[in-house]
Chain A
């Protein structure tokens, strides 16, 4: 019900307001101009995504305007505004947070530029964005829980290493896991603490857990691989065998966790595919050519286990 905005009546003006900029790219019909507002560079996973997008842009001959938001929504909004000024064909965003995009997306819409959400959703009405490409954090949490149950035979004490408090990945991965956990009455989370998605904190928190619950921990669920890697070190320092004495399940699927799995120190990683570049630009092309695109383009994901890690690692690109 947000159609009746004050900007509604003169919707046409802003579109006209950038005629020189927005018509110019359209003159050289061939070249696709895309603006991409990336969140930042906070993890290995994100790095892989960035790499994939830059790479795909080059391969597909797209004129990419790339902006790194340094983890700040303000910066991403500024970037989108600037893209509008520059008159790009499509704007891609990996929103750092779900909310708060209404205004700027509207501006893009008025300028006739479609928005593509990448890997995270935004809480705006459906008409404000063209499509969403990416996965589902809740699903990842559920999968992780299923894997944990498989490893522990549905019975045991788990400690959870959460991501940064308030980050949507952390909240949803926690939610997904907790939901699924209801199906396994003999498994329970005995301690849960934030490790800020980092190895150092993951290790520090795990150290404290090991002392507070000596011999009681059977599994570690980490919201990302990095914290799991930190926890593995803490477990080793405690004289235990990670992956054997204490099972490790984490999310993301970065290369280092595969190495750990090969070494037998980690058990499962639930992948969340960052290599969205080709898919993203395909969607952009379609949008420019006026083709229909689905509202949700799902990315391909997988679950990788210790048993097959030695094989899988050969295909890992990041």
Chain B
């Protein structure tokens, strides 16, 4: 493995944003035919390194060579012509175009001087089929959920015949099966001699596919390692800079409560705009309820309906035994609910507003326009959550769009925690969050439940679900298959349940 040819080097790369030293003399080396994991905590500088490499951000200092020749990448377009193909962390596609077009735009096959649509649609379908995604590629991209969009972005990057492929957290909203497909393709491309940079917070995946690991911390290089020779615990240590024990604590925290079963929310026979069919659901006070299911099974739609973001077409919904009609987000919030959406870019952050404003937004809406929270109070609240969730930022007056992906996610969590809800619905709350913080968040979730808050938890990571949830509702094809609680819930059972449900 050592004698693999060097494909790309980055030497002494530095980048400073106002108030933040995002990269400080970072070195990085990529070889031909390897999968190289780039790891680090949220805000460590991974995405910045990638953006510098692909010319999205200019670097303050350093050198890049590709196949031995020094290069100065001016724009992402330039990067593409140099043979660097990238999937950025936030999905960067055009929602108004069709799926097929998103894959091929800029490199459309032509026939008789005109775009060959038949060809595009056919090939797009094939490409997605390779990743085991079977959808109508002529529909617009924004009619699909984040996970599909992510697959489309990957399909696009894979099809660009490149020397270097960069994947910045491509798996953050994919589930196990899809990851598997992706990894197969990645390995195949490696064997053809491509070099792949792979960013993720799922350490299991790191060990599953990558040959080498580079770890960043606080914008500085920690080191480059052979994946085989670096045990997981040690890796985590290198990433967070201290020893790692939180995971154990969670297990113990969870055992504590189980008994009191006062119902907080019930819905019967719910049918929604989002195609949910006849759903019965009960959420008790102080419990963590998990929604399990595959992509498109209707988990997101369930919580959206409870929160009033989707119209309810039939059935009834009651909170604390009072029926709710004409549910709207603000009604739900006033009733004590909170909903942290899975799509943080388009349904979460308000980019140009500051962290402070983003955090207090829902709380302010809950209080109403005229009970204005003074600026001092706002700062206090946001400081508190920046500390609690360890949000990495020079200050709370920073625009949220300048934060790293994981830190944005934390701000959104803070937004809902600040409203102090009775029922908190978390749709993929740990998406793009590093291991350390993930454990921290899980802990917070359990502590809140302890204090009597009900929580609906959705995550593509079965592990996390099993660790946090007392009870699980399994969904498939927009229908409820059943419920599991206590010891009966484990991954095996759930998968079987879904498989069984499908055949029925």
Asked if A and B form a direct contact in the complex, defined as CB atoms under 8 angstroms apart, the reply is: no
